[in-house]
Structure formats: C-alpha cells, structure tokens
Structure 1
C-alpha cells in the first residue's frame, strides 16, 4: 500500500489528533458571531465549513428565482436549505461548522459527537443593532423601511423572535404560537456545551478553551457605523418600549440561558 493510500485510510485518526473536538457554532445575527466564527475557522483550518448567509441566499435565488425573505414562505426555503447543509456537513464529519444556521433536532440526535456553542446578546439591543446593520445594505436581509414602520412589518415582527427561531429546533418555522417556541428553545439550549454572552466575551473564551481544549481569541468584527447619538434620535423611549414588548419571548429564552450558564 502506498504511503498516500495509508494516509488517506488514516485521515480521520490524524484529523482527530490535530483538530480535537468537533464543534458547531450557531451564529445568531448581531451577537459577536463574525469574530467568533473567523477565529474558530482559523483554528480548524484543516476541516472547517461556513454556512454563509450571502452564499446560501445566492444559491437559493439561482435555483428558485428572486425570493423575498421578508415573506415567511421564502424565508423558510432558505432556512430549510441551511438546516440541510448543516446536517450534510455533520454527516461529512467536518470538525468546525459555523454560520447563520438554526439548531436542528434531527441533526443533533444523529451526530451527538459535536459540541454546540453560541453567543447571545440582550434581545432589545440585538434587535436594534440588526436593524441599523441591515438598513439599506445591498444584501439578502436589506431593510428599506424607517424604524417605526419596520416594527410593524412582518420582517420586524419575525426578527423580534430571533432566539425562538434559532433554537426551537424545527426545520420549518411557524410563528402562530411563540410561547411554544420559547419552551422548545429553552430545552434545546440545554444541549449546548457553551453559551456565551456579548457582555462577557472573556468568560466565553475561557469556556470554549475548557470545553474544546483549544486556545482562541475573539476580537470584534462587523461593528455598526451608526452613532449612539443617531440611534437615540431614531429609537425614541416609546419605540424602545415597543421593541421590548416585541422581544419578550426572546427575553425569556435569554434569561433562561443566563441562569443555565451561571
């Protein structure tokens, strides 16, 4: 047997010795995930894949034609595609998988050798940050509405349930009963080895080091460009109060996750 064939036959053993533990990073938008994903992709450069939002959106539009991701039906198409990609990459035994992809019960049940990690942010701050990040940007999540109109739009209402969406475990998202999504999400987050929080990234680094046996440093990427003064002018106390009410389901998940991580 040639040395190349021998290397090929033993590749999994070599990968495990070099890479360590397998991990899926569920990157919730505007929760410091870009810096986390980049650092982990560098650490796992021999076996890593990213489920990129722009790339998956582009593929779906080439397959199905123009899609309007403000519509739940079209949004579920790309959401299902990303879940299926996650399942496929776990089947391929990729050591690091990261991206804007929700937790999926079927994938988790079949591939329990993976460590699951995520980072969460205060739901109100996350919602506001997502709006200003996506406002009039040329990509699949572009927002063209002013902030008050956005709050009343289907996309705004859905984005207030981001933690529900990411952790409910369902392949196809339904929003008729958010309270049920909350309970599913809280249960599913118990499967996660590390849950970080944007206000304590130092602890997240330490927890990742402990659980994965690797040393990484997470910087800051994709910072918003809108000033705090401009945001405070647009997001009035009345509108912030409305956002808080919209995010009440995500807040329950966030509070449960913080209690779990203490």
Structure 2
C-alpha cells in the first residue's frame, strides 16, 4: 500500500533523525546504555520471536523476571517491585530484565514516578506478525484454540477486529502523529530490534547495553516464510495495511537501521 507524504523524497524529519541516532547500530556507541544495576522492561509483542529472545535474555542478565500472561497487570507490578527493591541493594549491583506481554499503560505506572527504567522490544512486519498470530491461536499449541477458531473462522474475520497500529499502540499508547510516536519511543526506549534481523538485533542489544554474555539467536516457533510470500487473501492484506500504516512505517525505519 502506497503512502502519501508531504516530505520530499529522501528527507528525514527531526524525529526520524533523532530515532536513528538513538537506535541504529551504526550510530550507537558500545556501552551507551550500560548500567551495572539497571532494570530493563522488555515488552514482548506477540509473535515477534519472543521465546527465542527470552532464552537469550535469561542467559545474559543476572535476574530474569518473567511476567505472567494470565494476570499481566498484577504480575508486572509485582515483578517490577521485586526488581526495584533488589536494585536498592547498591552494595551488590545486578542487572535485571522483565519480559512479558505488558503494554504502555503498565510502563507508565512506573514512568510517572520518574524511576530509572529502560524499555526495549522487538517488532515485526505487520502482516507477517498478524498471520503468524492467527495461525498460532488456531493451532493445538494454544490452550483456547477451539474457542478462538469458532469466533474467528477465517483470517479476514480476525483482521476485522485488529486494532489500529497494534504494535506501536502497545509500545507508546496513544499518539497524534508518527513523529509524536517516535518522540515517545526516543524518551522511553533504549533498544528496538526487528524479528527479520534477529541476530543483528541481539548483537546490537548486547553491545549497546554492555552485556558480557553473547546473545545467541534461538530460532524457535518462528515461520521461515513471510506472509508476502504466502497465499494471503487480498482482502486481508488490505485490511491489515489500512490498520497498520504507522506500524509499517516504524518497521521500515527500524529495518533500515539493521540493513
């Protein structure tokens, strides 16, 4: 789907330039975001290689706090309190990471109190992520696949209830322009990777955050063929494209950083 832009071809906005300076592996120096006693909130957006990334983070951080998907809000607050209390032991610094399906509203609970928390996440091509998510929810791997399939018997039925800019909305909450979304990302996040460049993303995360352990790429539960190469009905492509304009734009921006 083509996009109409008021910018001249090849030009960047101030927000885009600032975004690249903060997240591009080419521009971020080694140890830029290193903190021997930090707490990182790693937001797991569904179907963005989360299981693979989780294994790498468990090996690289002193303490890994998994956030329960069954009661995400309460689990997130409990695990974050544990991490913050552990951080007060300044004589014994350690690096901690929380990972789970929490969202911007959960993050803001702590950011409003001006706590030194970094956010991180990995995003994926919107259509690929959507198709992968649907196929997982309708497979035997999902505990409620029967109910899900009964409610959404086709990809198109599921596409019609897809929220606008699903990934960016999880990452930033509400925003009034793409540049505004970038400004919120610049203020809250220290790392954004892409599933399609998972190895390079993990390498950049390790280097920019000064992690001593290599972050191995574990390819589990991920499809090897993109939705663009699979047979996806045009109606689904159109619906997802119409609802994911800013997600697609962010994905292109981050992908260019790793290309």
Normalized against structure 2, the TM-score is what?
A: 0.65
Match of 1:91 in 2: 84
Normalized against structure 1, the TM-score is what?
A: 0.64
1:160-239 map, 5 Å = 161-169=165-173, 180=176, 185-190=181-186, 191-214=188-211, 215-224=214-223, 232-233=230-231, 235-239=232-236
Q: Does 1:29 align with 2:46?
A: yes
Provide the rounded CA distance (Å) in 2 between the counterparts of 1:96 and 1:163. 20
5+ residue gaps, structure 1: 1-18, 61-77, 170-177
1:106-185 map, 5 Å = 106-110=109-113, 112-137=115-140, 138-139=142-143, 143-144=148-149, 145=152, 146-152=154-160, 156-158=161-163, 161-169=165-173, 180=176, 185=181
Shift of 1:116: 2.4
Over the aligned positions, Cα root-mean-square deviation in angstroms equals 3.4
Match of 1:6 in 2: none
Q: How many residues align?
A: 205
Is the CA contact 2:68–2:100 (under 8 Å) kept in the aligned structure 1? yes
C-alpha change, 1:35 and 1:241, in structure 2 (3 Å) is same
Shift of 1:32: 1.3
1:69-108 map, 5 Å = 80-81=73-74, 83-85=76-78, 87-93=80-86, 95-103=96-104, 104-108=107-111
5+ residue gaps, structure 2: 1-35, 88-95
Provide the rounded CA distance (Å) in 2 between the counterparts of 1:220 and 1:168. 27
C-alpha change, 1:117 and 1:164, in structure 2 (3 Å) is closer
Shift of 1:52: 2.9
State which drifts further: 200-209 or 80-89.
80-89
Provide the rounded CA distance (Å) in 1 between the counterparts of 2:199 and 2:128. 20
Is the CA contact 2:43–2:102 (under 8 Å) kept in the aligned structure 1? yes
Superimposed CA distance per residue, residues 15-60 of structure 1 (whole angstroms, 9 cap, x where no aligned partner): xxxx76432211111111211111111332x42210132xxx2xx5
Match of 1:42 in 2: 59
Match of 2:6 in 1: none
C-alpha change, 1:47 and 1:257, in structure 2 (3 Å) is same
**Structure 2 SS opposite 1:219:** coil
Provide the rounded CA distance (Å) in 1 between the counterparts of 2:253 and 2:112. 23
C-alpha change, 1:121 and 1:29, in structure 2 (3 Å) is same
C-alpha change, 1:216 and 1:261, in structure 2 (3 Å) is closer
C-alpha change, 1:224 and 1:134, in structure 2 (3 Å) is farther
Larger RCO: Structure 1 or Structure 2 (Cα < 8 Å, ≥ 6 residues apart)? 2
**Structure 2 SS opposite 1:193:** strand
